[in-house]
Structure 1
Amino acid sequence: MLMPTLENAVQTSDSALEISGISKSFHVGQRKVEALRNISFSVKHGEVTGLIGPDGAGKTTLMRLAVGLLLPDSGSISVLGHDAATQSLAIQSVIGYMPQRFGLYEDLTVQENLDLYADLQGVPKSIRKERYRDLMQMAELTAFTGRLAGQLSGGMKQKLGLACALIRQPSLLLLDEPTVGVDPLSRRELWAIVYRLVKEQGTTVLLSTAYLDEAERCNHVILLHDGQLLNQGAPAELRESLHGRTFAVTAPDVSKRALQAQLAQSPSVLDALIQGEQVRIVMTKDAPLPELGVLIPNVSNAEINVVPPRFEDGFVALLKTKNNLETSTHPAPLVQASANLTTGTNPVIDVQNLTRRFGSFIAVKNVTFSVPQGEVFGLLGANGAGKSTMFRMLCGLLPPSSGKLSVAGVDLRYAAAAARARIGYMSQKFSLYGNLSVVENLRFFSSAYGLFGKQGDERIDWALQEFDLASIADAVSGDLSLGYKQRLALACALMHEPKTLFLDEPTSGVDPLARREFWRRINMLAEQGVTIMVTTHFMEEAEYCDRLAIMAAGEILTIGTPTEIKSKARTTALPEPTMEDAFVSLIEAHEMQGVAA
């Protein structure tokens, strides 16, 4: 029997991809994990469909099932008229697929990666030269074909991975979290390429992402959580379901963190989120119009204004309703992390004319800034801007080439080990011991910080209770969900009651509820005097910071509050710029100055 042709598949079905009742489970040790549970949806031709959800939602499993790399336990998948379970080779010959982390060979050059993918996809050599030229121009990589893929920036790797997936010019393109870990400018560039493909070539795109703001750019969204389908439809449908329930509250006489904490305690407030100098709230479904005298009775000079709902508001409302949290429930305030904090006039983090060279390459150039006690300071920048190098120097892991650097009163040029004893650090990747249990990790880190006997036991008990880890104390850390791994990592970072906390992309991939819980804890620590520095590609998280520094090419372009930085991007055409607008505007202006020079 002949397989249906691609042309016939397109003509006989309105959908490029049809998922019907798909379930898939895996065994992890003695535990059965249900990755997908009875999922059904379809992807229309010529549209961008977003597969939205946090890590562990089932996005990658669905992608691999659609490509034919996995077989479902039950249900069926049709891809361009082909059965994914029995015709996987036919499917793989007519689609493009970009897996997580780009699927590149980092020890090959850009050109060698293109040649390899062209060989694997059976692209005739007679058409390769023209195809390569078009793809490299589209991805702005023409000048880098001789560079090793491993030496490209994150954004360039992202665009090369996409180019490799497009060598055959597929009708259906599957992109598995293509924008994870890259800066907002690179994300915008990728989206420009995607929509050019849709508009000019009629390509159908299924794109998975944990970034909820990216859902707004899709024609249709599929919302997944814990392997289940929460909802599907146009982004505007979910956004507008919150119409009349979203407001912004400002109160100049109290800190924004204190204002958020008070608003969050109201039973009529479903969600309270810091956004620059204001707190954005979502009211519960049947709540009356908010009155400040009821919501925050002890706060004067407060103001409340209606704001339009966002996609994230709708997603959070869905999650809280699913988890029976329609009426807000908020845990008790975080107990004080350190009893040894003292208020002083000297900055906790002080950087003066800091430079770091790697041979002839200058990664950080003459940087100066300071951070006072109790401030949440954000360090933002494009990939390759020097953030990681700066972070490593601040944590005492990398010596500076020149300049002065002190943290928690210790000069890191001469006493890096002493400074590290006063610092808490949480890395982007889960850096604990995955083969140890939760309590064994806590015990190891408490002993590493010199906490033994009664003192060590007290801190372990504190961590188990404060971070709700007692019920899983004996669970193997590597088997935990991302949200619980995050809690454990933060608990370990706080075991020795540090005065300064460094957070490197701390919430990458977690769901919005886990992110809100994480930042509740961070805000409480800041209110108690802990100084916090954070790097992030989530522009929403940048809004939580007291001040931000934006870096490019090793230099600081600007430092200021979120409101001050957003104001720099305000124009007649863009009267209310977002933090992403401001970030992109600053980076593009810096790049133009470099070209002019």
Structure 2
Amino acid sequence: MVVEGLCKTFRSGPREIRAVDGAAFRLRTGQVTGLIGPDGAGKTTLMRLIAGLLVPDRGSLSVLDIDVVADPLSVQASIGYMPQRFGLYEDLSVQENLDLYADLQGLAAAERPGRYRELLAMTGLEPFTERLAGRLSGGMKQKLGLACTLVRPPRLLLLDEPTVGVDPISRRELWRIVYRLVEEEGMSVLLSTAYLDEAERCAEVVLMHEGRVLGQQAPERFGADLSGRVWYAQSQQRLRRHLQVDIAAMPGVLDAVIDGDGVRTLLEASGQPPTLPAVDWQPVDHRFEDAFVARLRASGRGKPEASHAGGSCRPAASDGNGQSPPGDDTPMIEVSDLTRRFGDFVAVRGIAFAVRRGEIFGLLGANGAGKSTTFRMLSGLLPASEGRLSVAGVNLRQAAARARARLGYMSQTFALYGVLTVQQNLRFFARSYGLRGARLRERLDWAVDEFDLGPLADEEADNLPLGYKQRLAMACALMHEPDILFLDEPTSGVDPLERRAFWNRISALADAGVTIMVTTHFMDEAEYCDRLVIMSRGSILTEGSPQAIRRDARREDRPHPSMEDAFVALIEQTEGTARDAT
């Protein structure tokens, strides 16, 4: 594939958006190439141009030696394309979905049994051919979508963020499938992803920003100029998320993220680690994430401003080792023997936990573990079948409406009004929470300023980049200043820089006394939680701080497990699976 000077512009009202701006690169055959960039970089538009679904304004594009502009149908017949929202038919079974896509792709009846066997074995879906697609877990849906894309084996496979919203085990399984396609079938793969650790699995990476290609090379080569600029900070006297915020605010620091028991820090060229009391610094090797951030900072994506979402109150760690969660020990969420049944299916099985005021509490688990069901019960959107649940001192089974007035909720999928502008959405949700007059104007001004929504205030919500959709959703959830904030996979699909800004806001809210409960499939984000539980098949497997859970996962052959290592080991041990790590 050869891309030369490719451009594509869209109009949104009076605004002109250059989604792809002079992009140029070559895709080598027989390998996995990653397409990486922040929200709004142009990755999806580029994918759709390559697939012949959009016509470029100018430039040339050759795919499999076919001119895409002149003959898009030939290209579409030769490639496989799995968009972010693949069109599975949820009222059809797994087998019926495969049959439908075989019909659409013109696969001969005689070829189908053998191809089906290969695809079902490869994806592990053989036992589920009669199950409705709508009843599959998120990871299984992604694997079925991939199988449908591959019904007729393509020479080139385009995958637009195929692992968004799936748990770490499913992500590893999807990558095994991709590797197999390349190694055994000789397929070429172009894959976009929001997970920077996945970029390191690619043979090459194409890095995009604002429609332009900033570079193309092997991922390890992107950081060639970062020697001596990456450091690791640890402190025994403060919480890691407080240390992270303090370091990120220092001059000469380009990036600071929680990593294991400390904070990984990227410095400007010729910079030195900042002087902070009781902080130990050690130099470490760079990785692709460091190079990604450095390139984007150099291209104009500056560090986010410190959030004032929750004020400046910051409780100190109480046990001297930086691991004690903040808060005043007031239980804001209490759950005991919580159960939810859907007919004969038990989604949540007698779970129990408590969350204190000002605590960031994580709820982790594989797809289908019962996390979202638990969230919906705690937010009053779904009644419990059995058990006791108290939120902000209110029994949810007796006074759900009164409890909901003290909650903010940000759902897993974008649930605002797409045809309303940013300003109209904010006003609608503020008024629905009872805000009027001066108070309404004050909160509207706060939301626009805090989440930097001013330039897009008159944009319809459906037209926003994903990161801004998430900002808007969070702003709406906070309009009435709730005591408790529920966040259900709030950063799914959001680029790493936007995720950093998001967690800065969360930390500020917790320090101001807001209780945060969050689900996430990003295991690095779990490190920002003060405590967390890991669920499987509706039950709680373990509860504790991230440090304690990682410590429990140590083995002789794994002396320094990551949170993902600990998560995968626990789930596989409990569910009795035999997945090999990739």
Query: Which position in structure 1 is the counterpart of 2:35?
Result: 51
Query: Which position in structure 2 is the counterpart of 1:311?
Result: 288
TM-score by length of 1: 0.90
State whether structure 2 residue 388 is matched by structure 1 residue 416.
Answer: no
For each residue in 1:393-438, what CA deviation from the matched residue of structure 2 results, as whole angstroms up to 9, or x when unmatched? 1101111111110111111111111111111112233322333333
Mean CA deviation greater in 531-540 or 111-120: 111-120
8 Å Cα contact 1:110/1:145 also seen in 2? yes
State whether structure 2 residue 60 is matched by structure 1 residue 76.
Answer: yes
State whether structure 2 residue 506 is matched by structure 1 residue 522.
Answer: yes
Structure 1 residue 157: deviation in Å?
1.4
State whether structure 2 residue 275 is matched by structure 1 residue 295.
Answer: yes
Query: Which position in structure 1 is the counterpart of 2:491?
Result: 507
8 Å Cα contact 2:307/2:504 also seen in 1? no
For each residue in 1:506-554, what CA deviation from the matched residue of structure 2 results, as whole angstroms up to 9, or x when unmatched? 1222222222111111111111111101111111211111112111110
Structure 1 residue 337: deviation in Å?
9.6
8 Å Cα contact 1:242/1:309 also seen in 2? yes
Query: Which position in structure 2 is the counterpart of 1:452?
Result: 436
In structure 2, the CA distance between the partners of 1:594 and 1:399, relative to structure 1 (3 Å rule), is farther
SS at match of 2:481: coil
1:144-293 → structure 2 map (5 Å cutoff): 144-288=128-272, 290=273
Mean CA deviation greater in 94-103 or 80-89: 94-103
SS at match of 1:254: coil
CA distance in 2, matches of 1:156, 1:96: 19
1:425-574 → structure 2 map (5 Å cutoff): 425-574=409-558
Structure 1 residue 334: deviation in Å?
4.0
Query: Which position in structure 2 is the counterpart of 1:140?
Result: 124
Structure 1 residue 102: deviation in Å?
2.8
Query: Which position in structure 2 is the counterpart of 1:348?
Result: 332
8 Å Cα contact 2:328/2:358 also seen in 1? no
In structure 2, the CA distance between the partners of 1:337 and 1:492, relative to structure 1 (3 Å rule), is farther
In structure 2, the CA distance between the partners of 1:239 and 1:428, relative to structure 1 (3 Å rule), is farther
CA distance in 2, matches of 1:200, 1:169: 12
In structure 2, the CA distance between the partners of 1:111 and 1:528, relative to structure 1 (3 Å rule), is same
Amino acid at match of 1:122: G
CA distance in 2, matches of 1:350, 1:276: 29
Structure 1 residue 317: deviation in Å?
1.1
Structure 1 residue 593: deviation in Å?
7.6
State whether structure 2 residue 85 is matched by structure 1 residue 105.
Answer: no
CA distance in 1, matches of 2:434, 2:455: 26
Structure 1 residue 23: deviation in Å?
0.7
8 Å Cα contact 1:54/1:509 also seen in 2? no
Structure 1 residue 240: deviation in Å?
4.3
CA distance in 1, matches of 2:443, 2:539: 40
CA distance in 1, matches of 2:449, 2:40: 25
CA distance in 1, matches of 2:111, 2:123: 18
Structure 1 residue 329: deviation in Å?
6.8
Query: Which position in structure 2 is the counterpart of 1:9?
Result: none
CA distance in 1, matches of 2:339, 2:125: 29
Mean CA deviation greater in 508-517 or 127-136: 508-517
Mean CA deviation greater in 407-416 or 105-114: 105-114
Structure 1 residue 38: deviation in Å?
0.6
CA distance in 1, matches of 2:372, 2:175: 25
Amino acid at match of 2:282: N
Amino acid at match of 1:581: D
SS at match of 2:227: coil
8 Å Cα contact 1:275/1:543 also seen in 2? yes
Percent identical among aligned pairs is 59
Amino acid at match of 1:52: I
Give structure 1 stretches of 5+ with no counterpart: 1-16
In structure 2, the CA distance between the partners of 1:413 and 1:512, relative to structure 1 (3 Å rule), is same
Structure 1 residue 444: deviation in Å?
2.2
Query: Which position in structure 2 is the counterpart of 1:398?
Result: 382
8 Å Cα contact 1:96/1:172 also seen in 2? yes
Amino acid at match of 2:74: A
Query: Which position in structure 2 is the counterpart of 1:336?
Result: 311
8 Å Cα contact 1:376/1:546 also seen in 2? yes
CA distance in 2, matches of 1:488, 1:513: 16
Amino acid at match of 1:257: R
SS at match of 2:330: coil
CA distance in 1, matches of 2:312, 2:239: 20
CA distance in 2, matches of 1:329, 1:445: 26
In structure 2, the CA distance between the partners of 1:324 and 1:588, relative to structure 1 (3 Å rule), is closer
Structure 1 residue 88: deviation in Å?
2.1
CA distance in 2, matches of 1:492, 1:106: 30
Give structure 2 stretches of 5+ with no counterpart: 314-325
CA distance in 1, matches of 2:132, 2:139: 14
CA distance in 1, matches of 2:312, 2:483: 9
Structure 1 residue 198: deviation in Å?
1.2
